[in-house]
Structure 1
Amino acid sequence: MHIHILGICGTFMGGVAALAREAGHTVTGCDAGVYPPMSDQLRALGIELIEGFGTEQLSLQPDMYVVGNVVSRQHLEDGTPKFPLMEAILDQGLPYTSGPQWLSEHVLQGRHVLAVAGTHGKTTTTSMLAWILECTGLTPGFLVGGVPLDFGVSARLGQQATGQERPLFVIEADEYDTAFFDKRSKFVHYRPRTAVLNNLEFDHADIFADLAAIERQFHHLIRTVPASGRVVFNGIEQALVRVLHQGCWSEQRSFGAAVSDFTAEGVHHAFDVMQQGKKVGRVEWALSGEHNQLNALAAIAAAEHVGVSPAVAAEALGRFHNVKRRMELCGSVAGIAVYDDFAHHPTAIRTTLDGLRQRVGQQQRILAVFEPRSNTMKLGTMKAQLPWSLKEADLAFCHTAGLDWNAAQALTDLGEAAFTSDNVDTVVAQVMEHVRPGDQIVCMSNGGFAGIHGKLLAALQYKFATA
């Protein structure tokens, strides 16, 4: 089959492309501003990438157009369509489908799917679970919304079906909508036998009216889990409790809360795994923060459902190396570390900074450099939470380009510790004016942040190495 993917450079659609190519399909694709790292990965796989969404691509004559949710029916001010290729596909009645639907029909069918959902921690927990299964020789397939350092790729097919055996596939289960023609959450297409509900709070204000609307989608996911399946959920989260109270027909395992099936005892970088009050394993690793401890419990509970003992899973996590862009160290100069992190929701920002504070203590300063880039943050829906999210930062630097609300006003509670600018180079200059040896600089964005990490390291080298 020849598939042509519209919006191929997104993390999810790029993963679909890689899986299709590995399965032997012919894959081509297009995107606006074809960009790395996904463009580099796809070209390395021999996948042809085309810039833009022009109608000349109809000449490729694929068997199926696979449409990413970046594509819409939007028209520009002059009346021309923003995605002319999609308009031509509709006009000519050509075959098209969504990425999740194609994945469901051509990759996930006949597999034991382990799906990891939640507002935060999906990528990390999915990577943990895939790594546990890999360490036990189960060779899972996976699709992760990032690049796990232990695998070096975001997606692979894994072990193929043999006889009656169901090969395993671990997938990051996103609640964002599927496509412009399918407004259901992506994850309803995955039909998991093991579903992880990591946490749940309001997000994606551009498509969801309130938290209840997201809870409804999560319950749609639960409805697809068979009676022989397992739902693993965070017992601390009241929103998830409400979701389960709407009905659950599968085995349940909780984690996190004091009375949960799986709990942890000890500090975040070295803790005992407790199952119904009995020690069943121990995790010792380089990761920090309560959030990663909870992620670990979720992964251990999910792995148990496919036969991996908690003790074996805990030992495997001791060799886990996290995911790119999750507190990834970019470099250091004069004892000043520069980290890259994907955090963009206020809760994720707070969690990232809390984890770093626990690691470095009060002796080192934390400089938070961030941009409110997600659709929800651009709308200003959660601007009031920003001062709370930055509580552990000694100084905060906000890149304000593209915002329709006043970031400086939103950060007023931080007083002289907050700085704003709509220019990345100015943000770098602001940081250079205040940085001191030993500081920890955390750059947080769900985008490329205009290469600010490299710019900071170059500026630090100039300021301190040439001083």
Structure 2
Amino acid sequence: MKHIHIIGIGGTFMGGLAAVAKEAGFEVTGCDAKMYPPMSTQLEALGIGVHEGFDAEQLDKFAADVYVIGNVAKRGMDVVEAILNRGLPYISGPQWLAENVLQGRWVLGVAGTHGKTTTASMLAWVLEYAGLAPGFLIGGVPQNFSVSARLPQAPRQDPASRSPFFVIEADEYDTAFFDKRSKFVHYRPRTVILNNLEFDHADIFPDLAAIQTQFHHLVRTVPAQGLIVSNGGEESLRETLDKGCWTPVEFFGGVGNSGWQTADESADGSFDVLLGGEKVGRVSWEIIGEHNRMNALAVIAAARHAGVDVQTACEALGAFKSVKRRMETKGVVNGITVYDDFAHHPTAIATTVAGLRRKVGAARILAVLEPRSNTMKLGTMKAALPNSLSEADAVFCYAGGVDWDVAEALAPLGEKLYVSKDFDAFVAEITAQAQSGDHILVMSNGGFGGIHDKLLDKLK
């Protein structure tokens, strides 16, 4: 048994890597600054020891065969400097995964600025429903599985074997302090979904063109016998493919695209699936939003490449239960519903608010935002925030840890805006304004100080 110690184990990717490593028979420990659900509870359930902090002393306690370094680790951190000074073996998470888990498997990658977690969860579930028992590593907890990662299992069609399929959320963020390529370059997928492509991660990318370059690196790794499933409505993706593509491409969505399309959308969320203008199936589910219909089309196309017929894929999507922290209902108190959502980019925020608006009609929406991602903290997209929140009836933005003037940036929202750096006062103001029948939508890519439970407790 080899021992790996993971630096930054609390992240969704590294926590998932820890889970598959443990399942594969490795001894696994790790460290991080802070831990919060769902990763903290998942690691605890797996019996994985976690050290709090990035001190050098932990290297004596956790004398590992190799140190797997996440991109939260930076030069100057005591543990990083000690690893380098002592000449200890280290590797990035994506490279470790590629060499120890993905090698020799049929990898299905899901890339894009938005929707990676939901789409990857859908794809893993469709393959599972079809009996293909895939492995997966997803940046969230799909409720159909209750874990964020696992190794391939025994397929229904051949119980004595192991599934060749592995679904992975293919992130464009950089790999590690010593490898500035995007994570997804390591995965070498046979099937890849390119969901969308916008400017994001302003802390590591100077502009959209730089991200397109990384996406084209991914395109270069897909074999000629593979498949690229690309959003036909995204000009940025077409430009990326125009740089050179050696793999068949199937497009979904977009005006004038003859590939995968939707039709006859119902108010309950159901829709027909078209391929080449012909109806090939219908998805009956209660998941709302155009973005989710596009996610579903991409999944149906990718699953078909892996051998799942369209009708089976449509049936599977009808049983899909979404992902924790994606419009997840945290509780209802005195007629007030509190939701949790991971949205942290203006486009995702706008989509999330619009989706809830279609669900609740004229009821009041109280949008609660924590600008926590690196891009949001830099204020790169602050000009787009007011419009992304315009459908909410009241907007509460927590300004703690943000250097730019949140009140000034969100001033176009007028009297519906409340901004505070005092967390307790922030929670108190939300509960003071909330009324029976309201919907409180909390959006953050972090733990947000446990605000959901605090709100539910104060609303009693």
TM-score, length of structure 2 as denominator length: 0.96
1:309 Cα deviation after fit: 1.2
**1:96 is matched with which residue: 90, 98, 104?**
90
Distance in 2 between the 1:427 and 1:299 partners?
40
1:164 Cα deviation after fit: 11
Write the mapping of 1:49-198 to structure 2, written as runs, cut at 5 A. 49-59=50-60, 60-74=62-76, 83-159=77-153, 167-198=164-195
Distance in 2 between the 1:370 and 1:338 partners?
13
Distance in 1 between the 2:21 and 2:154 partners?
14
Cα pair 2:174 2:181 within 8 Å, conserved = yes
Q: What is the aligned-residue identity percentage?
A: 64
User: Gaps spanning 5+ residues in structure 1: where?
Assistant: 75-82, 462-467
Aligned match of 1:352: 352
1:459 Cα deviation after fit: 1.8
1:242 Cα deviation after fit: 0.5
Cα pair 2:258 2:277 within 8 Å, conserved = no
Cα pair 1:233 1:253 within 8 Å, conserved = yes
Cα pair 1:342 1:445 within 8 Å, conserved = yes
1:88 Cα deviation after fit: 1.5
Distance in 2 between the 1:278 and 1:202 partners?
34
Distance in 1 between the 2:189 and 2:161 partners?
18
Aligned match of 1:370: 369
1:34 Cα deviation after fit: 4.0
Cα pair 1:143 1:171 within 8 Å, conserved = yes
Distance in 1 between the 2:162 and 2:453 partners?
48
Which amino acid is the alignment partner of residue 52 of structure 1?
Answer: G
Write the mapping of 1:37-56 to structure 2, written as runs, cut at 5 A. 37-56=38-57
Which amino acid is the alignment partner of residue 274 of structure 2?
Answer: M
Cα pair 2:152 2:162 within 8 Å, conserved = no
1:455 Cα deviation after fit: 1.4
Cα pair 2:344 2:371 within 8 Å, conserved = yes
Distance in 2 between the 1:321 and 1:248 partners?
35
Distance in 2 between the 1:192 and 1:355 partners?
31
Which amino acid is the alignment partner of residue 20 of structure 1?
Answer: A
1:427 Cα deviation after fit: 1.8
> SS where residue 119 of structure 1 aligns?
coil
Distance in 2 between the 1:69 and 1:300 partners?
32
Cα pair 2:36 2:447 within 8 Å, conserved = no
> SS where residue 212 of structure 1 aligns?
helix
Provide Cα deviations, 1:252-299, integer angstroms capped at 9, x if missing partner: 010011324111111371100111111111111121111111111111
Write the mapping of 1:292-311 to structure 2, written as runs, cut at 5 A. 292-311=292-311
Asked if 1:220 corresponds to 2:217, the answer is yes
1:57 Cα deviation after fit: 2.7
Asked if 1:11 corresponds to 2:12, the answer is yes
Aligned match of 1:279: 279
Which amino acid is the alignment partner of residue 9 of structure 1?
Answer: G
Distance in 2 between the 1:456 and 1:134 partners?
37
Distance in 2 between the 1:166 and 1:318 partners?
23
Distance in 1 between the 2:163 and 2:450 partners?
43
Bigger CA drift: 319-328 or 452-461?
452-461
Distance in 2 between the 1:159 and 1:36 partners?
25
Cα pair 2:350 2:388 within 8 Å, conserved = yes
Distance in 1 between the 2:309 and 2:246 partners?
24
Cα pair 2:154 2:161 within 8 Å, conserved = no
Distance in 2 between the 1:399 and 1:40 partners?
26
Distance in 1 between the 2:215 and 2:283 partners?
30
1:160 Cα deviation after fit: 6.7
Cα pair 1:110 1:166 within 8 Å, conserved = no
Asked if 1:264 corresponds to 2:258, the answer is no
> SS where residue 324 of structure 1 aligns?
coil
Change (3 A) 1:311 1:192: same
Provide Cα deviations, 1:404-426, integer angstroms capped at 9, x if missing partner: 11111111111101110012222
1:166 Cα deviation after fit: 6.8
1:109 Cα deviation after fit: 0.3
1:44 Cα deviation after fit: 1.7
Aligned match of 2:410: 411
Distance in 1 between the 2:162 and 2:54 partners?
41
Provide Cα deviations, 1:173-212, integer angstroms capped at 9, x if missing partner: 0000000000000000000000100001000000000000
Which amino acid is the alignment partner of residue 8 of structure 1?
Answer: I
Which amino acid is the alignment partner of residue 8 of structure 2?
Answer: G
> SS where residue 267 of structure 1 aligns?
coil
1:40 Cα deviation after fit: 2.5
Provide Cα deviations, 1:361-395, integer angstroms capped at 9, x if missing partner: 2x211110111110000001000001110111011
Distance in 1 between the 2:445 and 2:69 partners?
22
> SS where residue 446 of structure 2 aligns?
coil
Distance in 2 between the 1:128 and 1:166 partners?
18
Change (3 A) 1:422 1:260: farther
Provide Cα deviations, 1:333-375, integer angstroms capped at 9, x if missing partner: 23221100000101100000111111122x2111101111100
Distance in 2 between the 1:90 and 1:428 partners?
44
Write the mapping of 1:427-466 to structure 2, written as runs, cut at 5 A. 427-461=426-460
Equivalent pairs counted in the alignment come to: 452
